[in-house]
Amino acid sequence: MKRVVFNQKGGVGKSTITCNLAAIAAARGLRTLVIDLDPQGNSSHYLLGDAAPATTLADFYDQVLNFRARPRKVAEFALATPFENLWLMPSHPDLEELGAKLEARYKIYKLREALDELNDFDQIWIDTPPAFNFHTRSALIAADRCLIPFDCDTFSRKAIYNLMRNVEEIRADHNRGLAVEGIVVNQFQARSNLPRRVVAEMLAEGLPVLPHYLSASIKVRESHEASQPLIHLLPGHKLTQEYLGLFDSLA
């Protein structure tokens, strides 16, 4: 199963959600790969800390742009993390510049072709930049399911319909098997009126809001700083349990 975590808005928790759900999958014994397509590299730092990766997705895409008679296999770009069963294809700042070159040469299907060669992973989780660009389109073309993080903000809600139209366009034109698995409510504050009202309105409009909401918590920042997903840092914490409930609700 290949999942992409996608929202065109920044700051909604894409990297946090990607890494924590992937870490749960790995902790459950599933061989799991995280692909960090965001040039900011938040998922890469979350899972590797300050360690400099030996190879990155920039190396993979450089290989795509510059033909080689014997290219490296895509599995060689997956690095082991400190966590059992969890691997990472790290990001690099050069991905932003490479995206424009790859788009100009219509390499939009190369990620899907590469992932189709991978048979060693039970789950693949793809983190994306906060934009509808070459890398996010490549991820949507390569994925089976799409998760949409939502941070209970009025502006985010207004953008949801445009985002879902973009996903539907990719599905219609490039990837018939792509499905929106659901909207992940993140940074939810149950005692505040605005988040409750916004989520209730989304449900009333028939949007596919997933039933397990993720609470706002300072523990997320502590998890980032420690470079340890919550299942490893704080397995008994309320937010960790919410992530476990969310993971179990996915098909």
DSSP annotation of 62 reads H
pLDDT range class, residue 52, cuts 50, 70, 90: confident
Average pLDDT on 75-103 reads: 97
pLDDT range class, residue 210, cuts 50, 70, 90: very high
Question: 94 near 58, Cβ under 8 Å?
Answer: yes
Taking alpha carbons only, the member of 242, 248, 250, 112 closest to residue 181 is 250
Tokens matching residue 103: 């788009």
Start-to-end C-alpha separation, the chain: 10
φ/ψ (deg, to 5) at 135: -70, -40
206 — alpha (psi -120 to 50), left (phi > 0) or beta?
left
Q: How many residues does the chain have?
A: 251
- Which has the higher per-residue pLDDT, 193 or 154? 193
Number of H helices, E strands in the chain: 11, 7
Q: Residues 156-181: pLDDT tens digits? A: 777 899 999 999 999 999 999 999 99
pLDDT range class, residue 89, cuts 50, 70, 90: very high
Q: Residues 123-153: pLDDT tens digits? A: 999 999 999 999 999 999 999 999 999 998 7
Residue 70, pLDDT > 80, answer no
Residue 194, pLDDT > 90, answer no
| Distance between CA atoms of residues 147 and 6, nearest Å | 6
The domain total for the chain is 1
Per-residue confidence (pLDDT) for residue 190, from 0 to 100:
81
| Distance between CA atoms of residues 53 and 192, nearest Å | 42
Tokens matching residue 214: 């993720």
Angle at 86 between CA 54 and CA 5, to 5 degrees: 95
Burial class (CB in 10 A: 0-12, 13-18, 19+), 164: middle
Residue 191, pLDDT > 90, answer no
Average pLDDT on 197-214 reads: 94
The CATH number that applies at residue 102 is: 3.40.50.300
Which domain covers residue 47, as residue numbers? Answer: 2-249
* Model confidence, pTM: 0.96
| Distance between CA atoms of residues 180 and 251, nearest Å | 12
